[in-house]
Each structure stands twice: as C-alpha cells, then as structure tokens.
Amino acid sequence: MIKHDAPIADAAFTLKNPSLLSEHILFFLYLDLKTKKEHTIIAMRTSLSVIVFIGVVVGSVILAVILWGYFTQWKFVPSDTGTSTGTATETETGTGSGPDQLMYVTLNKEIWRFGKDQSPEKIKYSPVLNNITAGAMSENGQHIIYGSRGQTSVSSDGGKTFSKLSFGSGSTWTPLSFSMTTNGQHVICAFLTSSGGNALWYSTDYGQTFTPEPVTPLSGCNQGQCSTGMSDDGSVQCLILSGGIHLTRRSPALWEYAAMPDNLGGVMRAATKDAKLWFVVMNATGIFVDEFDNFRNQNPKLAMPFVPGGKIINARVSCSADVNHICAAVLTTKSAVLYISGDRGKSWNTVPMSRFVASVSQVFDAVVSRSGAAMAVSVKIEDTTARLLLSDDYGKSWSTLDLKSTTSVVSSTLLLSN
C-alpha cells in the first residue's frame, strides 16, 4: 500500500499489480491537486510580498513629501524679545544675498528679514520715531526704501545698512506708498502732508534724491486707499487714489486720469507679455482687472464681484508681473476672504481666512512675487499680534506665522524679492 501523505520526492514506484490501478489513478490526482495547492500558496506569498514592498515604497514617498513640505516652509516667529523659532539676532551685517525668495516684514518700528531655509534676522534700522508705513524693494533685494512719519531711509546693500534721507525727514509728512523699478534706480513715493494734502515725488538715483511730480488733481490719498506703481524700466508711473487713477508715460511727462470712485486700493503692471498697461483695482463692487484705456473710458472689466452683505473694512491686492496671478485680501463686517486667480481674473478661488485664524480685525498688506508663485498676507488677529498667511505654490496651499509685539500692532508691511 502506498502512503498518500508521503512527500512528493518519495512517491516514485513501479506499477506491478494492475489491480491497484484505481488506487494509482487516485494517487496521481492527489499529487496533482497537492502540487497546484503548493504553487497557489507560493503565488499568494509572492503577491503578498509584492504588495508589502509597494506599500513600503509608497509610504516612504509620502513621508518624504511631508518632510520636504515641512522643512521648506518659511521660518519666522519673532517674539517681543527679538527671539524666534530660529536663531534670530540683531545684526548690521546681514547674511549675504540670502535665499531665492527673500521677504522683509515690518511690525510697527521693527524690520525683519527671512526666507526659505534661512534663520530670521532683525535688521538694524536707524532709530525710528514712528511706525513704518510704506516700503519698496528692487527685484534682487539689493535696494530698499522704508518710510515712517517724518523719516525716510534707503539701503543699497540688501538691508545691511540704511542711510537717513533729508527728503521727507524732519517733517510731519507720512509716506503712504513707495514703488521701485526692478533694478531699484527709479523710485516713486506718495505722501500725506502735514496740511492734510498729498504730494508725489520721484527719484532716478536709487532714492538718494527726489523731485516733486506735477500731478493735478491730487486728492483722496489716504492710508490703505493709495498705491503707486511703475513699469520695470520706470517709463510708466501711476498713482491710484480713492477717486481714480493718475498715470504718466513720462515721454512726454503728461499725466492722464481715469475716474474710479471709491477705490479700496489697487496695483498697476506694465505686462511685458502684451506690452499693455494692466490694472487690478478694487472698490465696494468687486475686483476689476483690465487695461488702462478701459478704465479711462469708464468701462473696466469687473472680474470678481463681491458677494453682497457686510461693509468692507479694508482690503489689499497684489499681482504677478504678467498680471496672471492675483491675490486680494478683503475684510468686511461679516467675513475675511482671500481671492486668488491664476488666469488674469478669468476664474477665482475664494479662501476664507477663518481656515487660518479665528478672527481678523485688520488687513495690513498683501504681496505677490513677480512670478506669482509666492504670496503673503499680513493681518491683525489680536491687539499685539499680527499673523502672516504664506503660500509658495500660487495660493494653492497656505501656512501661517505669528508676529508679536510688546505694544498694539498698528502697521505691518511686506516686501518680496523676485
């Protein structure tokens, strides 16, 4: 009798008794089934190993992506003592050219510089008597200008040192907006004068000296409702006021005017893509994105109507050099919202700021880098705390950083390089 449970290797035999044929046939069937079963088990074990291997690989990739996203976030949380999550120190020497994306943030009288993979750094700024209200920076971050009431200072070494200008100093004038060309040579500045009027000044020597601009009429220029703009080469300049847009092409130096009632602020870009002058301007109705000629003809395109309800408290807007990427931060009595566009205002994503903060009492500033990839918004969340909303992927995702002061936060400006 053959043992049916014997190992396959021991199952060799010679058929000598035909009477056992049926038993032999059954045994061969048994062997065939057993072999297939073992093959199936082997196949299942192999499949399981492959699945486990794939899972390990996918998990490793996901972990790598998460870690990459964490370690490439902006690094900066200054406290009231000048310390932060990094190794912040007060210095006059700076850190050289800095990262690819450089950002300057002011908080009342302080200036901080930081970027990706860079420890935050507090800038040694000449003693500031009043809170900083406006600033501008060249594309590479080499030339910087800042102003507060009665004081204007410039830097030509990337913020390592600042020199105080006689222009705008020793008076009660308050800088409302600065604009600078990409190389920093041309600078334009709007002031609120001591008499309550307005003045526009222009520099062609990197902000060392200024001359007044003959803009008429010039009125309605208030903090937050006034912004300046220039083309990359300085040949086109503009001043956006609460009542309209003043623009000069400087050859000849004649000023044109486009009425735009109840402006909440805006930005001008001389888009090199189509060699036209584009404006992004807001009022209580919504966000307008169009060429200057259509604003002048009183027919600008309303790209993003605001949802009715709630009075607008304040708003800020900025865009990329080609005007394709736009970021507007709008605070109303009922909501605080970011409006993001990546196609020159044809379509929009609305991002409630409630995702990042329980409440917002003021929008300080909004900036977009020349490429549009980096966006930053500064808002007030508590009496002594401002929060930065930061994106480096065209507004698709956001991170937050808090700035704390020992006194009530009343001003915060943002400057982005590139």
H or E element, residue 190: strand 187-192
The answer to whether 264 touches 223, Cβ cutoff 8 Å, is no
* pLDDT attached to residue 329: 95
Count CB atoms within 10 A of the CB of residue 219: 12
Q: Among 8-17, 248-257, 381-390, which stretch is predicted with the lowest mean pLDDT? A: 8-17
pLDDT band at 45 (very low <50, low <70, confident <90, very high): low
Output the average pLDDT for the chain: 75
Q: Among 132-141, 247-256, 313-322, which stretch is predicted with the lowest mean pLDDT? A: 247-256
pLDDT band at 399 (very low <50, low <70, confident <90, very high): very high
pLDDT band at 14 (very low <50, low <70, confident <90, very high): very low
CA angle 332, 336, 342 (to 5 degrees): 115
* pLDDT attached to residue 376: 94
* pLDDT attached to residue 403: 87
Count CB atoms within 10 A of the CB of residue 156: 18
* pLDDT attached to residue 244: 83
* pLDDT attached to residue 94: 29
The residue among 91 and 370 whose pLDDT is bigger is 370
Mean pLDDT across 384-395? 94
Q: Is 33 helix (H, G, I), strand (E, B) or coil?
A: helix
Percent of the chain at pLDDT above 70? 66
Mean pLDDT across 388-408? 92
* pLDDT attached to residue 320: 92
* Cα–Cα distance, 239 to 145 (Å, whole number): 18
Calculate the alpha carbon distances from 228 to 140, 200, 224 in Å: 20, 9, 11
In this predicted structure, the answer to whether residue 15 has a pLDDT above a threshold of 50 is no
Q: pLDDT tens for residues 89-118?
A: 222 222 333 335 688 899 898 888 876 666
Q: Among 33-42, 67-76, 210-219, which stretch is predicted with the lowest mean pLDDT? A: 67-76
Name the residue type at position 159.
G
* pLDDT attached to residue 127: 67
Task: Look up the CATH architecture of domain 77-416.
Answer: 7 Propeller (2.130)
Percent of the chain at pLDDT above 90? 32
In this predicted structure, the answer to whether residue 395 has a pLDDT above a threshold of 80 is yes
Residue with tokens 């000849």: 252
Mean pLDDT across 304-309? 81
Name the residue type at position 132.
I
Count CB atoms within 10 A of the CB of residue 259: 11
Q: pLDDT tens for residues 195-238?
A: 666 678 899 999 988 888 876 545 555 555 688 888 888 888 88
CA angle 110, 165, 150 (to 5 degrees): 60
Sign, CA torsion 131/136/139/141: negative
In this predicted structure, the answer to whether residue 31 has a pLDDT above a threshold of 70 is no
* pLDDT attached to residue 240: 85
* pLDDT attached to residue 102: 82
* Cα–Cα distance, 234 to 187 (Å, whole number): 8
The residue among 46 and 409 whose pLDDT is bigger is 409
Q: Is 155 helix (H, G, I), strand (E, B) or coil?
A: strand
The answer to whether 125 touches 154, Cβ cutoff 8 Å, is no
* pLDDT attached to residue 277: 87
The residue among 390 and 18 whose pLDDT is bigger is 390
Shortest CA distance to 418 belongs to which of 374, 355, 363?
374
* pLDDT attached to residue 49: 57
Question: Domain extents for the chain?
Answer: 18-67, 77-416
Q: Among 40-49, 80-89, 107-116, 162-171, which stretch is predicted with the lowest mean pLDDT? A: 80-89
Calculate the alpha carbon distances from 139 to 105, 143, 293 in Å: 16, 8, 27
Calculate the alpha carbon distances from 381 to 75, 77, 129, 134, 362 in Å: 20, 15, 25, 21, 8
